Each structure stands twice: as structure tokens, then as C-alpha cells.
Amino acid sequence: MKKFYLLLLTTLISFSTFAQEVSTLIKGIVIDNDTKDPVIGATVVIDGTTTGSITNFNGEFAIRTQQQGPKKVIISFVGYKSIEKEVNLTGEEVSFGELKLASDAIGLNEVEVIASVAIDRKTPVAVSTINPESIETKLGTKEFPEILKSTPGVYATKQGGGYGDSRINLRGFSSANIAVMINGVPVNDMENGSVYWSNWAGLSDVTRSMQVQRGLGASKVAVPSIGGTINILTKTTDADKGGNVYYGIGNDGREKIGLTLSTGKMDNGFAVTFSGSRTTGQGFVDATSFEGYSYFLNVSKEINKNHMLSFTAFGAPQTHGQRNGYNQGIEDYQKNGGIRYNPDWGYLDGQEYNLFTNFYHKPQISLNHYWTINEKSNLSTSAYVSIGQGGGTGFLGTSKDTEAYRRADGQIDFEKIRDENVALAEQGLGSETILRSSNNNHTWVGALSVYDNKLTDYLTFMGGLDVRYYYGEHYRQVEDLLGGEYFLNTSNVNIPNQKAVVGDKVAYHNDGEVYWLGGFGQLEYSKDRLSAFVSAAVSQTTYVRYDFFNYTPENQKSDNYNFLGYSAKGGVNYNLTDNHNVFFNTGYISRAPFFRSVFPNYTNDGNKDAENEKILSFELGYGYRSAKFNANVNIYHTQWKDRSFTRTVNQDFTANLLGVNATHQGIEVDAKYKVNHKLSFYGMLSVGDWRWDNDLNNVPIYDQNNQVVDSVNVFIKDLHVGNSAQTTAALGFDYELVKGLKLGVDYNFFGNNYADFDPTRRNDSEDRSEAWKMEDFNVVDINIRYKFQIGKLNSTLYGNVDNLFDVEYITDAQDGADHTAQSATRVYYGLGRTWNMGMKLNF
């Protein structure tokens, strides 16, 4: 027996020695072909095997294999062209040296300059980047903002559940206080700062990456980035010739078809990429059918080595039914069939008829010029135009309360409304209740130009101009007389007692004009482990209001109201080692009030006491990077002073509620662990403490003669800010089951979510109660992706199931009188289990 063990041990040692003798070490460094920076996290795999590695912080990789003979090594990373290297494994060390990955798109680096894309371990801001692979794999039937729900500080919901009706909050701030930019061009509404995601519902098809910069962000233009910046980069022009087709289906009749075509860079220097899609469905919520399209066109021309032009046009026209549910509470869902219940529709002539229908088209067209002046300086300029048209429908008339027409089954009785209008028409009278549309059209033109100059090896200057002009048109018009002959419009002083018919403007017609001129400058220092920047921006905003109903022609234009805004911010990042870094940033913003605060009473009499809002913020961050494990910790503190509030009293006078302050502070942690090229884990935790700072006592209300006629109080000190979950967490993994087949699971938790409320209506000193706190909830989503070949064509199958366990939870609510679940209104449940699947064929 001893001889047997000795023989076995000798054999094992022999095999081990033999394996060591024939093993081969393959190593190299992967860098960006243009910037020469290391590419971190690139995948390096021996073709046809599971043997591989990923590059570390320095772009280095090392693979030891016992395989022999000729093999192919594939180096790949999202956004780059893959490299294939032939190698003969003989047991000797193989070094590829520097391997340069080239971008798979033309003009991408130039767009990133205009868009102020943050650079890891260099730009001192908290940042999360979502790549196109994640968007394709995980979006499913989720709305565009919801792809960010596993990002620290983000709370995104579908609100009423209609197509494109989602909203997003970042660190407790609504989209009006989040800078949203597409290719560096701001898209926040110039009058109220809002972002209407239904305008971009199809943009996910052509999004190359989404970068969320929390806090002050890296943007150099004077945009309202209080909560953060969502920086969306679309496709530019594909460097290679080809394209793809996509077809997908989902729950509730969802169907999507898409096509992309690219010429690649041709001999004449031109390159063209086109993408288009159509999406239809019935909607998870009752009576929210939708039809949406998207289109994208990019034409690039490389004039010579110093000049390039790029033309881009994209848009997403859509129409969808909505659920506004103004007075809808939890009991209404329970009585009328559950979370799909929509109180805002009924039947007319046997057809589904929705009270609220949204329709909009907001194309954006830009022409970019990139000029390499010399080896040290560049000028990137984007001139753009956006022409938006559309609006939403609803009731108008003397009986606008839908409860008067509510049937026993909870739906609106449109037949009853029509019968009443027909009876009035027989008497020669107009319709009492009609369907109107509220239209918000606009024309927006602008230019953004960025000049950068490398002053020394370590110091770079950037500066530029941000010029915008916006004209918004706001009116209601008759959409359906619902059986009547006309609608009596008494709102227009220039046409008294107008008998309005379909297409006529009614109720109101006023326009807003906004002029914006901004300038910015930044100095950036980068040497060895230290990088730092200081920047400043200044902007002049001018508001003008036109009112065509309340004034005769000679008085329809208001005075000009001018506001000077400015910002200053700075930060420093220090890489302690190749793995550890720390950063700090701080900034101060003085932001012009929004249009509504300047003209609070829907008249041309502007609010001369309107003041800029002031924001002071600082943030401290730590990061760890290695080949397999990344982690970030951020601590932030933001003070928002002189929030712009106005309050109308007795329908005649308006109080300027100056001095309303809030503090948003918290801690965010996120991490990712890549076990190997097949399995990775990720997670995040975000804990916020967002509160109102102070009460207001005896705020005077003045009449037109500047006499005090009344006063108001606001009691909100120490109450939590509502409308966003203050605690969020996520945990997930991606695993390659077999070659080409990947499974992903995402768990998300949302807690400490207080109902939304109007702080200016908290005027009872005895009522210090918090707004109703909704129940915490968690959801699990899964996704699967399978890559395979059909002949010589690369194909991918996608599948998603969101809210896998069909959890019932509330995402949004308006606080009620006694701050309880029973009194809450405009309650919205999250969607139940939804699914979709699709296939993409690349050629």
C-alpha cells in the first residue's frame, strides 16, 4: 500500500511539473487609441474557452493558461472596436505590449467635451455611468428614467402609469432642479425647469451612455444642477458599416419594431447613421393605450484632420392615454378592481374614450463643428433648434367636476354628457362641458461653444458661451364639443361671448419669451496623482409675457424682467495609491427664479420682488478601484435658500414667501465585485435626511398700492421633504450561465418616502405632523440575454420580467388633511408584474 501511495504522489508531482512546464503567461496593456488613457475593466479572453481576465486600473492584464498551440485572444470593451490577436502558445511568456482600442463611433470624444463628461478618479464629483449594454439588457418595459433606479440618490416612478409619464428625483430634488442634457444641450424647460420624459420616450434606442453626476456636477454651463446632472449621450456615427433590426413584444399588447443602418466612414469622408422604431400597446393601467415613434439621424463629414462637421436630428412623437387621478385615494382602487384602475375614462359610441390624452413631438436638431486649432487648443461648437408641439386633453366647462358624471362602475359617463349637450343645442345654447386640449408649443434655438487650451503640461483652460432664445405658446382649444354646437367662451376680452367651435382657442392664450446669455470659464490642473479645478459661470435671464385674452392689443406685452444668475464651484481629487482616491467639491449657485414666480397671477403684472434662489453645497468622496472590486462612498450637504414660493390670497393678492430654506444631506455607498469574466455582483445604499429648515411668520401681503392687506404663516420647520424615498438600496448580480447566455437579477428597496405636500399651505401652528409616510417596498427584476449566430449574423435574444413577485406598493401620493393613508389623494401604485422579450439581428 505504501508503494501505491508513493507511486500516486510521484505521478501527481510529475503531472504538476509537466503542467508548470507547458503553462504560458499572456500579458499586455490596453489603452484608449485617442486619449492614451488606460482602459479599465476591458475583457480579455482566449477564444473558444472560459479562460480570461479583465484589465486593472493601469489597463494591465495577465492570463496564465496550460493550453498549447495556435490560439486567438480577443480584447473587448463596450464602446470600442474589439481586437483579435493571434498567438502560438508554446510555454514561453507572450507580451502584446500596448494594445490600442479604437472607438466604435466617429466624433464621440468631441461630443464628450461639450457634454462635460466626468472622468473616473480625475473629475471630483460623485458619478454613475450606465452603458448601452445595460440599457439594452435591463430597460425592458421600464421608462427611461427608471433605468437609473439602482443609482444612489435616485427615486424614479411611473406616476400615473401612462407611456412616458415617469418622473425622477435626485437627492430629493425634482427634475426642475436636475440638469438634464442631451449631447451637452440642456433640455429643461426654459420657463419652469421641468423635463417631460414622454418627449424622449424613444431616446433609449439611440442612447450610447447615461451619466448621472450627483450634486453640483461637472457641467460648465449655468444649468440648474442642484440635485445633479443627467448627461445623456446619443449615438454619433458608427465607425463601421452595418446595422440591425429589432422586434419585441410585451405585456398588455406591447409591440416594438426598430431598424438601424450605418454606412461607416466612406472614402469621401462622410458617414451616416439612421435609426427608427415604432412602439405600441394598451398600457398596464386601464385606458392608457399608446403609440410612439423614434427617429435618429447623424451625418458626419471629416473635412480634414483639423475640421469635422456633425449633423444630428432626433425626436420621439407619441400619443398616450393618461391617469391623472386628482382625487383618487386608496379606497378608490379597492372599490374598483385594483391597481390598474383608472378613473379618467369611459365609453363613447362603444369606443374607449380617455379624458386625459397626451400628445407631443419635440424634435431636436443640431449642427456641431469640431476644430482642432493646434496641438494644444480646440474649439467645439453646437448650434441647435428644438420645435415642440402638443399638449394634453381634459374637461372644460361649468360642470368640470367629473364626479357629477361618475357611473356606478367608477367610469365617466360620456354618453350622459353628450345627451345634456345635445339638449342644450336644441335650445340654441352651447355645450356645458367639452373636451379641450391644453397646448404648450415652443421654439427654442441656441448655441454652445467650448474652447479649451492646454496652457502648460499640467494646466488647461476651458471657456465658452451659452446662448439661448425660447418662445413658448400656451393656450387651450376646443377638441370635442361632445354633442353640442359651440362652446361659449367668455375669457377673451377682445372677442366677448365667443361661440367657439373645434379648433378655436378658449380659456386662456398667453406666451412666454425667455432670453438667456451665459458665459463660463474653468481652470483645470492635473499632475501625477492630483487633479483640481475651479470654474465660474454667469448668466443673464430676461422674461417677457404676452397675454392675448386678458388685454387689448396695445397692452398685451409685459415689461422685461431681468435676473442675473451666477455660480462658482471647485474641487480636488487625489489618488492616494493606484487603488485609493479621495475628492472634495464645493460650490455656490445664485439662480434666477422661474417664469411662474415672476408672473404668479397669470397676468402681465410681474412680481418685482422675485429673488434669486441660493444654493450652497459641498461633498466629500472616497473611491477604491482594483481589477475586480470597485467601491465609492460619498457624503453630501446641500442648503437651498430662498426657495421661490408665491401664494395667492383671496384670489386678488399674492404673497412672496421669501426665506423658505431646506437642507438635503446624506451618505451614498455603491460597489461592484467582478468575480471573473462570467460573474459580477453590485450593490448600493443611499441614506438621505432632507428637511425644511424654518417657519415663516406674518409674511405681509401687499395690494397694488403697496399697502399691507393681510399676512400668511408657514409652519414647516424640521418636517421631511416629501415626494421622494429618502432611503434606497440595491443588490444584484450578472452571471454567464453558458457561453453567450447571461442572467441578471436586480433587487431594489425604497423607504422613508413621505407624501408630497405644499409647504405654503401648512399654516396651522398646532399641526406639526409629518406628511403621511408610505410603506417601504422592494421589488425584484430579472433579465436574460442570449447571444448567438444565425449563419454569419450576430443575434441577441432579450427577456425581462419586472416586479417578479408581483408586489403591490405605492410610489406617489399627495398628503391629506390628517396626514394618513385614508386622506391621501392622487395615490399611484407601482405597476404589477410586467414582461417583455425581443430579438435583435445585426448585419
Q: What is the 3-state secondary structure (H, E, C) of 715-773?
A: CCCCCECCCCEEEEEEEEEEEEEECCEEEEEEEEEEEEEECECCHHHCCCCCCCCCCCE
Residue 118: all three cell numbers together: 466626468
Considering only CA atoms, which of 43, 231, 236 is closest in space to residue 123? 231
How many Cα atoms within 13 Å fall on the side-chain side of residue 483? 17
DSSP code per residue over 486-510: -EEE---TTSTTEEE-TT-EEEEEE
Q: Vertex 228, ends 222 and 229: CA angle to 5°?
A: 65
pLDDT 10s digits, 544-598:
999 999 999 999 999 999 999 999 999 999 999 989 999 999 999 999 999 988 9
Phi first, then psi: what are they for 724, rounded to 5°? -160, 135
In angstroms, the CA 471 to CA 224 distance is 19
- Beta-bridge partners for 527: 530
In angstroms, the CA 307 to CA 105 distance is 17
Strands 52-54 and 43-46: what pairing? Answer: antiparallel
Considering only CA atoms, which of 789, 794, 797 is closest in space to residue 741? 797
What ranges make up the beta strands (E) of 328-432? Answer: 345-348, 351-354, 357-361, 364-372, 377-397
- Give, in order, the Cα–Cα distances in Å from 621 to each of 192, 616, 618: 32, 17, 10
In angstroms, the CA 776 to CA 783 distance is 24
Considering only CA atoms, which of 559, 660, 650 is closest in space to residue 601? 650
In angstroms, the CA 150 to CA 377 distance is 38
Q: Vertex 366, ends 360 and 371: CA angle to 5°?
A: 165
Strands 94-101 and 24-32: what pairing? Answer: parallel
Helix (H) or strand (E) holding 64: strand 60-65
Residue 465: all three cell numbers together: 458661451
Regions of the chain short of the pLDDT cut 50: 1-20
CB atoms inside a 10 Å sphere around CB 112 = 20
pLDDT score, position 10: 45
DSSP code per residue over 650-670: TTTEEEE-TT--EEEEEEEEE
pLDDT score, position 706: 61
In angstroms, the CA 28 to CA 9 distance is 37
CB atoms inside a 10 Å sphere around CB 351 = 7
pTM over 0.85: yes
Name the region of 145 (left: φ>0; alpha: ψ -120 to 50; beta: rest). Answer: alpha
Q: Which amino acid is at 420?
A: E
Q: What counts of helices (H) and strands (E) characterise the chain?
A: 6, 51
pLDDT score, position 402: 73
